[in-house]
Amino acid sequence: MAASIEFRIAAELSVNPRQVVAAVGLLDDGATVPFIARYRKEATGGLDDTQLRTLEERLGYLRELEERRAAILASIQEQNKLTPELRASIEAAQTKQRLEDLYLPYKPKRRTKAQIAREAGLDELAAALLADHRLDPQTEAQRYLKPAFKTEQGDDNPGVPDVKSALDGARAILVEQFAEDAELLAGLRTHLQDHGVLVSAVIEGKEDAAAKFRDYFAYSEPLKNVPSHRALALFRGRKEELLRVSLKLPQDPEASVMPAPQSVNDAMNGCELKIAARHSIGERGQAADAWLLQTVRWAWQVKLSWQLEAELLTQLRERAEEEAIRVFARNLHDLLLAAPAGPRATMGLDPGLRTGVKVAVVDRTGKLLDTATVYPHVPRNEWDRTIAALALLARKHGVDLISIGNGTASRETDKLVAELIRKHPELKLTKIVVSEAGASVYSASALASKEFPQLDVSLRGAVSIARRLQDPLAELVKIEPKAIGVGQYQHDVSQTKLARSLDAVVEDCVNAVGVDVNTASAALLARISGLSATLAENIVKYRDEHGAFPSRAALKKVPRLGEKTFEQAAGFLRIMNAADPLDASAVHPEAYPVVQRILADLKRPAREILGDGPTLRKLDPAKYTDERFGLPTVRDILRELEKPGRDPRPEFRTAEFKEGVEELKDLQAGMILEGTVTNVTNFGAFVDIGVHQDGLVHISMMSNTFVKDPHEVVRAGEVVKVKVLEVDEKRRRIALSMRLDEAAPRPRAGAGADGRRELDSRPAKPFKRPPEPQGGGAMADALARALKRS
């Protein structure tokens, strides 16, 4: 079975099965995705980290599928009901849903009405009426009357006192039979997926409380077209008991015209027709057809519609969550790999009004040098005194950069620093506004408390703001990824799945950049391939006790860091200024012999070769391959020697906020501004233009050409130019455009459930409140009608 799993994954990834077999073997042996992607290309045929993450996820799912398959086969076998045909169907099932459908008739269940009816012998009546539609139900039922009795298990059975009880019992048996028909369920599920309409309405009397969901007060959209952000908004509204959300079929009739059907033409919906067609019910107008058609309607309204609505809405939520998590992961990836300002002395300012502006100065390595609290704003207004204090700190510590958090009083503090720079040009300061998302989370964390036990919590935030300008990746890894806040509806998705996905992103980013083992924090080291939090702490402790590591090999002296861990981690750890310059590169120690053969051919030492592109590009990689290292690895080695320790992150650049534009009231339609992308969603990108409220560039306003995915145009942390389209001061919303060369039409606005603007690309027309058909939404009424008719 394992082999079939690997072949299936290979087909899904469109790769050779040998690649998947090799990758699975490495994963099972404890290798990490970054290590396999970077240093085992020969084994996997060059599978990249994205393919490997997908492979790892699918491997887990398919192994769970096989475990469930085995359990189901064993259960049915114990019941002596496992036929060759059933076994074949179960073994051919490709999804957990299909497996559970096949298992339904054999799944242990409580004593149902259908089971009680079977005990009374009514399964024969149900089978007879379903098999021979010429039979008259009333007449046939007379044959099955039976007094109350006790079953062999000692349970009381009411028997079959009259014809109505006989037909009710037979109907319960058929309803359960229809609901456990795997093929029928698959067909109904597909029909609903293709034709179902998601409908929502505000709960009466809650219009004011649900104001942020007003676009969903009378909403309908084909289920298959509902995007992630709208689905999550609907589910949030339902969870908050403000919206009623249901799944309908467009051809479902109104409640007022729902008589018991006499034929298939009597206003039956598509799913009811499918149930009827499964058993050729109603095709010839025979005696049992009316009763059977009513049984079909009963099965749909009372049992199947509820069951399938719950399933499909759950699937919609899962798809929406997966998409939201994917968006969050991609934004986090871009934010973590944002351009670092580099090792420069930096002053971090955490703005505030009444509580003052918190100041922290760190040296070029991020070490805290000094702190202060100043009060330039209301109510104390110590403007000049603050400028003097900041100038003194900057001069004392040789500050190059001033990092300003973008929270409350950010623009006022930005204006303060601008005046500081004008008054003290000799200091040669540069100011940058950075996102302070997650800084407060870090400040109150155990990690911050351990790093700065004597420092006030508020000042720790200023340290974080300074460091995240120097190296966003090194600082942001200290914060729980979901606290960084670059997702959509992140609190509405599975927190376990979100954490797992974001942790993988952090791991990939950290290992893509590499880490200086002699300066990195334990939090950063813990993200390196093969290293646990405990091993990271051991490395830092060993470094503190014995001084800087002189070489990669010296890492093996760290307690509990064995050969396997060293193999996984060494290539991503850098030893700057080591005796062997290769220790500062991404060349793995296991491949040093390859480099030695290259140096022997060139008759030059490593320090002379590193960075010598013209010489290295003349070499033939094939000459240096052997049974262990093939062309992919040798090519990687040569590229690394050409640009040793290269950083994959872009060049540092900052947005210049426009002078005099500090609040919403300062904005005017038509303004061209520079800003920083803070978040990218499926419907557009949010941009910080320096007015304490991010504006939204809707997907339709991102380019003069069609944009399918906003991530194709911008990424989190990128500096962009935008045009102001409209400002809604009351609702604190800003519509922006990246189409600067035209007066772009205003996109249609939709209400985001999180209070921020959420636009979508649907036509600008009001939602039409759909009729209230039968289906998942009005089941209580349908049940009452069905009971009345029966």
Q: What is the pLDDT of residues 390-428, one digit of tens each?
A: 999 999 999 999 999 988 898 899 889 989 999 999 999
Q: Where in the chain is the domain with CATH 1.10.3500.10?
A: 118-145+158-322
Instruction: Tell me what the mean pLDDT of segment 49-70 comes to.
Output: 95
Helix, strand, coil share (%) of the chain residues, nearest 5: 50, 10, 35
Give CATH 3.30.420.140 domain extents, the chain.
Answer: 347-470
pLDDT at 754 over 50: no
Q: Where are the alpha helices (DSSP H) in 79-162?
A: 84-92, 96-103, 113-119, 122-131, 137-141
Spatial distance between the Cα atoms of 529 and 510, rounded to a whole number of angstroms? 9
Angle between helices 122-131 and 163-179 in degrees, nearest 10: 70
Across the beta sheet with 368-374, the strand order is 368-374, 357-362, 346-350, 401-405, 430-434
pLDDT score of 141: 96
pLDDT at 742: 64
Best CATH choice for the domain 347-470 from the list 3.90.420.10, 3.30.420.140, 3.40.1360.10, 3.40.50.2000: 3.30.420.140
Grouping H, G, I as helix, E, B as strand and the rest as coil, residue 432 is strand
> Which residues make Cβ contacts (< 8 Å) with residue 538, sequence separation at least 6?
558, 559, 560, 561
pLDDT-based confidence at 780, cuts 50/70/90? very low
Residue 743 pLDDT: 62
Of 121-130, 406-415, 478-487, 523-532, least confident by mean pLDDT is 478-487
Q: Work out the pLDDT band at 338, boundaries 50, 70, 90.
A: confident
**pLDDT tens digits, residue range 171-230?**
999 999 999 999 999 999 999 999 999 999 999 999 999 999 999 999 999 999 999 989
For the chain, residues classed under CATH 2.40.50.140 are 664-759
- Amino acid 491: pLDDT: 78
Fold of 118-145+158-322: Tex N-terminal region-like (1.10.3500)
Summarize pLDDT for 421-463 with one digit per residue, the tens: 999 999 999 988 888 888 888 898 888 998 899 999 989 999 9
Domain 2-106 sits in CATH at 1.10.10.650
**Mean per-residue pLDDT for 550-574?**
96
Q: Find the mean pLDDT for residues 27-47.
A: 95
Q: Which positions ≥6 away from 514 have C-beta within 8 Å?
A: 572, 573, 574, 586, 645
Domain 664-759: which CATH number of 3.40.50.620, 2.60.40.10, 2.40.50.140, 3.30.420.40: 2.40.50.140
Whole-number pLDDT of residue 119: 94
* Total-model pTM: 0.78
535/267: higher pLDDT: 535
Question: Which DSSP symbol is given to 774?
Answer: S
Tokens 């006989």 map to which residue?
Answer: 166
> What are the residue ranges of helices labelled H in 106-181?
113-119, 122-131, 137-141, 163-179
pLDDT the model gives residue 484: 80
How far, in Å, are 86, 246, 566 from residue 560 at the CA level? 52, 56, 10
Least confident segment among 8-22, 264-278, 551-565:
264-278
